[in-house]
């Protein structure tokens, strides 16, 4: 399956999953959603506990578009702690405090050097799988940090990176879906314009709109069908967090997410029919949602 980019007067939709490799339950959910549902792409955490199992599944399903899910917060690093002591703890885990990491990544040259080394190591680990690199994005959308985004693009280009996700969820579309749009949502949408400009300068393609932020972990069939009626022209992405069952890793990291319900959405025949209908329709006239 090839990625088809939307352009002027055109539209496309990629349905993706994050956290490939996080656990075998997540991997099983992604495989089932690809084989029997509407899932097209998945983003691989190369240092996660079940990464090897994820690579095995990707090789067995060559139509699945696989990219790098860069981890620079709340997850395992590729490099040993001795090489990146300012980034991770003794167990090689990035911390969860987003503000503290953001400040360090921006202001501390020593930390930035270690960050660049780790980002390169993650791209290198992905390349070592032999899988084609379809895209890249970051865990917790940390590539919205200007330092992380710039490094991901610069280093990724050396590994053939051609497409990244910009997590720009148009407030007008979400409001039309009946969701309360807060000031923070509007500010985040505007902030994504920086990453989009960085990507353009690097010659890397992006989506126009991305959905799954406001309903993260709770993408029901009803919500997806409602969203499909309002998707704008251009290249759209809807991302999910499916899993075949609950497990200790999911309970620890995402206790409130409904992974099994999101898998059920991806497998729902009504959702499949709605996706096929959307792709066969003429371009609609959606709410104003020009990318920032």
How many Cβ atoms are within 10 Å of 42's Cβ, its own excluded? 31
Structure tokens at 207: 């989506």
Q: What is the pLDDT of residues 55-65, one digit of tens each?
A: 999 999 999 99
Q: How confident is the model at residue 6 (pLDDT cuts 50, 70, 90)?
A: very low
Q: How confident is the model at residue 1 (pLDDT cuts 50, 70, 90)?
A: very low
pTM for the full predicted model: 0.92
Q: Are β-strands 41-44 and 65-70 bridged in parallel, bridged antiparallel, or unpaired?
A: parallel
Instruction: Cite the DSSP H helix spans in the chain.
Output: 24-36, 51-60, 98-107, 109-128, 146-158, 171-176, 183-202, 221-228, 248-253, 259-267, 269-280
May I ask the CATH architecture of the domain 13-276?
Alpha-Beta Barrel (3.20)
DSSP classification of residue 278 = H
Q: Which helix (H) or strand (E) segment is 18 a member of? A: strand 11-20
Nearest to 167 by CA among 25, 43, 251, 64: 43
Q: How confident is the model at residue 32 (pLDDT cuts 50, 70, 90)?
A: very high
The Cα 35–Cα 178 span in angstroms is 32
Distances (CA, A) of 240 to 120, 219, 271: 26, 7, 14
Nearest to 242 by CA among 273, 226, 220, 213: 220
For residues 62-81, b (16+ Cβ closer than 10 Å) or e, as one string?
eebbbbbbbbbbbbbbbbee
* Average pLDDT of the residues in 237-244: 98
Say whether pLDDT at 284 is over 80.
no
Query: What residue spans define the domains of the chain?
Result: 13-276
Q: What is the pLDDT of residues 88-131, one digit of tens each?
A: 999 999 999 888 888 999 889 999 999 999 999 999 999 999 99
Say whether pLDDT at 285 is over 60.
no
Percent over 70 (pLDDT), the chain = 94
Q: What is the pLDDT of residues 143-200, one digit of tens each?
A: 999 999 999 999 999 999 999 999 999 999 999 999 999 999 999 999 999 999 999 9
All residues at 6 or more sequence positions from 9 whose CB lies less than 8 Å from its CB, including other chains? 233, 283
Nearest to 209 by CA among 196, 194, 219: 196
Structure tokens at 171: 């407030």
Percent over 90 (pLDDT), the chain = 88
Q: So what's the pLDDT on residue 290?
A: 67
Q: Please, what is the average pLDDT of the chain? A: 93
Structure tokens at 212: 């799954």
The Cα 244–Cα 49 span in angstroms is 16
DSSP classification of residue 162 = -
Structure tokens at 242: 């499916």
Of 81-85, 226-230, 285-289, give the lowest mean pLDDT range.
285-289
Say whether pLDDT at 138 is over 50.
yes
* Average pLDDT of the residues in 245-271: 97
Query: In which residue are the tokens 């002591």 written?
Result: 85
Q: So what's the pLDDT on residue 279?
A: 87
Q: So what's the pLDDT on residue 7?
A: 45
The Cα 141–Cα 72 span in angstroms is 10
All residues at 6 or more sequence positions from 22 whose CB lies less than 8 Å from its CB, including other chains? 45, 48, 49, 50, 249, 250, 253
């Amino acid at each position: 399956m090839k990625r088809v980019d939307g352009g002027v007067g055109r539209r496309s939709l990629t349905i993706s999953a994050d956290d490939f490799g996080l656990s075998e339950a997540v991997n099983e959910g992604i495989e089932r959603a690809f084989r029997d549902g509407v899932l097209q792409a998945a983003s691989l955490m190369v240092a996660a506990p079940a990464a090897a199992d994820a690579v095995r599944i990707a090789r067995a399903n060559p139509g699945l578009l696989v990219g790098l899910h860069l981890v620079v917060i709340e997850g395992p690093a590729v490099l040993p702690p001795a090489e990146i002591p300012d980034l991770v703890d003794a167990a090689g885990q990035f911390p969860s405090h987003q503000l503290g990491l953001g400040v360090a990544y921006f202001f501390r040259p020593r930390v930035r050097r270690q960050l660049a080394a780790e980002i390169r190591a993650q791209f290198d680990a992905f390349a070592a799988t032999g899988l084609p690199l379809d895209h890249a994005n970051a865990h917790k959308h940390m590539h919205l940090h200007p330092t992380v985004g710039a490094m991901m693009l610069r280093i990724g280009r050396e590994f053939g990176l051609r497409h990244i996700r910009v997590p720009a969820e148009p407030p007008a579309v979400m409001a039309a879906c009946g969701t309360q749009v807060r000031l923070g949502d509007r500010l985040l949408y505007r902030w994504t314009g920086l990453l989009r400009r960085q990507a353009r300068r690097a010659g890397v393609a992006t989506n126009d709109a991305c959905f799954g932020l406001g309903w993260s972990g709770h993408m029901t069939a009803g919500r997806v069908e409602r969203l499909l009626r309002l998707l704008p022209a251009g290249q759209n992405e809807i991302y999910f967090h499916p899993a075949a069952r609950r497990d200790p890793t999911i309970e620890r990291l995402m206790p409130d997410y409904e992974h099994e319900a999101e898998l059920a959405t991806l497998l729902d025949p009504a959702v499949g029919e709605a996706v096929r209908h959307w792709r066969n329709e003429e371009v609609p006239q959606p709410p104003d949602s020009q990318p920032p």
